[in-house]
Structure 1
């Protein structure tokens, strides 16, 4: 092997094993100890510094490990990455396999610090997982996101809950992940407006050669402003009275950035916010059951009363 190749191999050995005797390195590289010292000099020219200790328990060890990869990952950062890996794996995210491969490589490069790492085998993430073929959805998502970046139109066969299966041509603006599901936001030429498309409901797709100009008026953050979820539409000034213990649960999260919470009697709260997305607003309020009273606006009061009446009629039959 060439001198450069042996120097790189020596670096990898020190990354994997920590401190090593010069004689050990020489034996593994099948060279003499003088060559090992020369490899050390070559690596230091490349700013990969190696500590050398004399004596019975001496040897070489990297002073600035990971510099070759420009990583310098701390133990805390490595533990955080492992935590993310566990979350993605438990929630069956399409990126989980790739992240696991990255974590494995980083762990191998940082094996000298292995004892400092936290074991997350007793940690779990509880999520409602998507009933999808991960490999199919991953390819579909990556193809669609590539079209977003290159501003290429997409022809899709989309199975809408309201309209049924239709072929549409979409100008893809951005991709979005919500509650473990992937979405495409884009301009639908059939409906002549910006729509959200759940990627798992796209049955067939074709990335077209035709491109489209960037829509300077579209801002993904702005498009989701004051939305409780992905549903958009009319904005409401919501005012709720929420009783304990549900009030404590509501206080523990930021539902929309503009929310204002005021403490009141008996552990109850008054919750005020501007919100969009009638479907998800109704679902959210109904999910609190008898722990919430809608104070404003009258339109939402009517919607909740009407939904409760429909539910009640199911059980009177």
Structure 2
């Protein structure tokens, strides 16, 4: 990796772990200690200052008062950042506090007065809020993302909805967000395959010293290709007839990149797409109620029919209590 790339990785590692010994940074970046000192010099030239504590418990750590200078931020950029801050705060995102702190620093550097900022009190974001401890999940995510960058294995207690709680050793490849939830994608040594792990379901974890080689065959875009949500599995050629007004709602969004929508004279649409993720596909179709007919494939038609039968049983019971 280039000197700039390793310097940025060093900054992220220090941000996630707080303090690291020179030898630990060198090991994580796979360079010698002299090179780590050069990265420190490069970061300080960019205005990111790193303290070096001596002694048995010493190490490198970031100063708390790092300020970004000379950003030349436009009003439009600052207003957009305010909008992002409001969105993250309303959705209870783990990055909300950090973005608020960043915005305060930018306002200070840019000498922006309160009256020069747009009032977003009349703007809100309506999202499903994750029921999590933000501070705990933020630290967990930063630790895991640092392990992705340094290619350190993670030992975790993971509570799976399907198989229950198990100890796993995971080689973390990638992090992603879906519907306000954070995930780590990695090779599970227990199941011997690449899997998604919802970070909030990781009950305990340890970043191991053991490293793993980069998997050159892993491509996150290919891994998620044609997935409806984050679910994988068999790929289906979906064909739906969707009636108005649901047809108008569906055509307003790109559900998968390969979708093809044909508009009909009666304001209905024919929706075609290749999709993976049976459970999420079913949930999506059932959510349209009587405004949709599954035309193809027969397997999805039967899945939807069976789900409706099971739902009907619940409401046909004499005792609804």
TM score, norm. by length of structure 2: 0.76
Distance 2:76 2:115 in 1: 13
Once the two structures are superposed, the pairs formed by residues 221-240 of structure 1 within 5 Å of their partners are: 221-240=221-240
Q: Distance in 1 between matches of 2:224 and 2:246?
A: 26
Say whether 1:269 aligns with 2:249.
no
What residue in structure 2 maps to residue 5 of structure 1? Answer: none
Aligned residues: 250
Q: Deviations over 1:169-213 (max 9, x none)?
A: 101111111111111110011100011111111111011111111
**Matching residue of 1:128:** 128
Contact 2:79 2:117 in 1 (8 A): yes
Q: Which runs of 5+ in 1 are unaligned?
A: 1-67
Local SS of the residue matching 2:274: strand
CA drift at 1:117: 3.1
CA distance in structure 1 between the partners assigned to 2:112 and 2:208 by the alignment: 49
In structure 2, the gaps of 5 or more residues are 1-67
Distance 2:246 2:232 in 1: 26
Matched residue, 2:91: 91
Q: How does 1:67-216 map to 2 (within 5 A)?
A: 69-112=69-112, 115-216=115-216
Deviations 1:237-261 (A, max 9, x none): 1000000000000011000011110
The SS at the match of 2:310 is helix
Helix, strand or coil for the counterpart of 1:255? coil
SS in structure 1 of the partner of residue 104 of structure 2:
helix
Provide the secondary structure at the position in 2 that maps to 1:240.
Answer: strand
> What CA deviation, in whole Å up to 9, does each residue of 1:282-302 have, x standing for no partner?
010000000000000011001
CA distance in 1, matches of 2:153, 2:109: 42
1:112 Cα deviation from its structure 2 partner = 4.9
* Equivalent residues in 2 for 1:14-93, closer than 5 Å: 69-93=69-93
Q: 1:209 to 1:268 in 2, by over 3 A?
A: same
Indicate if the aligned counterparts of 1:75 and 1:113 stay in contact, CA closer than 8 A: no
Q: Distance in 2 between matches of 1:113 and 1:97?
A: 20
Instruction: Return the offset for 1:113.
Output: 6.5
Shift of 1:104: 1.0
Q: Secondary structure at the match of 2:217?
A: coil
SS of 1:137's partner is helix
Q: Deviations over 1:129-186 (max 9, x none)?
A: 1000000000111111111111111111011111111001101111111111111110
| Aligned residues: CA RMSD | 1.2
Change (3 A) 1:113 1:139: closer
| Cα deviation, residue 109, structure 1 | 2.6
Deviations 1:52-73 (A, max 9, x none): xxxxxxxxxxxxxxxx813110
The Cα of 1:115 is off from its aligned counterpart by 4.6
Match of 2:283 in 1: 283
Equivalent residue of 1:266, what SS? coil
Question: Structure 1 residue runs of 4+, over 6 Å off?
Answer: none
Verify the 8 A CA contact 2:69 2:109 in the aligned structure 1.
no
Secondary structure, aligned partner of 1:196:
strand
Instruction: Please report how far the alpha carbon of residue 110 of structure 1 lies from its aligned counterpart in structure 2 after TM superposition.
Output: 2.9
> Could you tell me how far apart the structure 1 residues matched to 2:128 and 2:190 are?
33
Aligned-partner SS, 1:166: strand
Please give the alpha-carbon distance, in whole angstroms, between the structure 2 residues aligned to 1:151 and 1:288: 43
Question: Can you list the C-alpha shifts for 1:262-285, whole angstroms capped at 9, x where unaligned?
Answer: 001321000000101111100100
Cα separation, 2, equivalents of 1:107 and 1:314: 56
Corresponding residue for 2:247?
A: 247
